[in-house]
Structure 1
Amino acid sequence: MIQKAILTLSIATFVFTANAQTKKSAAKKPAASKAVTAPQTLTQLDSASYSFGMKIAQGLKSDGVKSLNYELLSKAMKDVFSDQTLTVNDEEAGKTIGQFLQQISQQKYAVEQEAGKTFLEDNKKNPKVVTLPSGLQYEVITMGTGEKPKATDEVTVHYKGTLVNGKQFDSSYDRNEPLKLPLNNVIPGWTEGVQLMPVGSKFKFYIPYQLGYGERGAGQDIPPYSTLIFDIELVKIGE
């Protein structure tokens, strides 16, 4: 019995030792090395392709576009480059883009539109203000006695322009130099309004955006859909 117990103990000890050594060996076994992926080298075509996409997106984003269907955008580009039949023609594409950007612009500048509309509606109540069928409003500050210009005339004027919030965006008075210009080459509100002025007059004009710089505005100082206020003094007609 004792010998059988010793034999059993010896076998158990051997198994335990062997298992321990196996685990120890497994623990010391170095981990398999991970495959190292070499950095991808961009070709000139790769870089140009990304750059084209970046610049196109930046331009669209500056116009207020927030997202597009990128799959269809990519498909359209592939169709053009591979001379595939296009889903729309140039005229349809231009019209669609124009309508899309116009809707975005209207949403973006809704505050300016509403401010201008409210201002003009309130301004109509002023008994000194005349409202014309076109929507142009004016107020006589000083009535001159000279001739009135025609749309084809060149005129010399002093002027100051502001937005409805009072921000001034231009002034010939500040430059101390009147401006000479052809009356048929300015915004519609000027073309219509200045023809009402005898030389020597000074009028204040309230110009809705449709007769001003419209849906695009002008530079950084005149946002799209801006109602404009101009003090205009007609100095002379012609040279």
Structure 2
Amino acid sequence: MKKYWHITWMLVVMLFTLAACSDDDENEIVIDEAWKEINLAAFDARLQDAKTDTSLFTINSESGNGQIICKILKKGEGTETIYYTSKVNCYYKGCFVTNEDGEVVADRDSVLTQGEVFDSRLRENGDDKVLFEVDDSGLRDGFATALQHMHEGDIWEVWMPYQLGYGVSGYDDIKPYTTLVFQIEVTDIVEQ
């Protein structure tokens, strides 16, 4: 009888394993292929802009997982370097490359004014500045990369491809494969 107990136990474990795997399949993120294509095309088009528009430049991510596209909106007075271990106060706004109706913002220079805002902490709205630890694992790779090239007082527009943002999984209202466009203002370095 003891021989059969082990076989029964193994079958029960295998059934639970198979059930767990099938639950994972049901919970998989459904990729909106049209959204994915819109975002990939928008980032690629901006990357092409950077080849001819001298106000745009690219920076390889600190992780080596891609590059961000940047534009200096205002040059600050600061000269101190922001390191991976730094803590900085910032204002920011994050937008999608589409407007609130889901239409692509045709003029890529207008995404910050016409794109759907998914998060915002701006001085002009009376918001409090936000303290960022550059090495915080919750901070997106593209955002951390931009900060390490900015100085106090700088305001930048930063285009971040999905692999340096929320990736193939997305997060809350941010769908998988989303290109993110940020306005980032560094107000001060709290700690080097």
TM-score by length of 2: 0.69
* 2:127 corresponding residue in structure 1: 176
Aligned to 1:110: 33
Distance 2:23 2:40 in 1: 27
Matched, 1:199 2:185: no
- The amino acid that maps onto 2:9 is D
Alignment equivalent of 1:123, drawn from 46, 49, 53: 46
Contact kept in structure 2, 1:109 and 1:225, CA below 8 Å: no
The answer to whether residue 182 in structure 2 is matched with residue 230 in structure 1 is: yes
Identity level (%): 25
Alignment-derived partner of residue 54 in structure 1: none
Counterpart mapping for 1:143-162 below 5 A: 143-146=75-78, 147-162=80-95
SS class of match (2:95): strand
SS in 2 for 1:117: helix
Paired residues of 2:135 and 2:144 also in contact (CA < 8 A): yes
Deviations, residues 69-126 of structure 1 (Å, cap 9, x unaligned): xxxxxxxxxxxxx623455997xx77x987x579x53x63222221111001111232
Moved over 4 A (4+): 86-90
Q: Alignment length, in residue pairs?
A: 151
Task: Report the CA distance between 1:193 and its aligned residue.
Answer: 1.0
Corresponding residue for 1:164?
97
More helix by share: 1
- CA RMSD after TM alignment: 2.6
Q: Give the conservation status (yes or no) of the 8 Å contact 2:40–2:177.
A: no
The alpha-carbon deviation at position 141 of structure 1 amounts to 1.0
**Runs of 5+ consecutive residues of structure 1 not aligned to the other structure:** 1-81
Higher strand share: 2
1:139 Cα deviation from its structure 2 partner = 1.0
Relative CO higher for 1 or 2, CA cutoff 8 Å, sep ≥ 6? 2
- Normalising by structure 1, report the TM-score: 0.56
Alignment of 1:16-55 (within 5 A): none
Alignment partners' CA distance in 2, 1:129 and 1:122: 12
Distance change (3 Å), C-alpha of 1:101 and 1:213? farther
Stretches of structure 2 that go unaligned for 5 or more consecutive residues are 1-7, 61-65, 99-114
TM-superposed CA distance for 1:189, in Å, is 0.7
Query: Contact 1:203–1:232 at 8 Å: present in 2 too?
Result: yes
Q: Please tell me whether the aligned partners of residues 31 and 176 of structure 2 are also in contact (alpha carbons under 8 angstroms).
A: no
Q: 1:200 to 1:101 in 2, by over 3 A?
A: farther
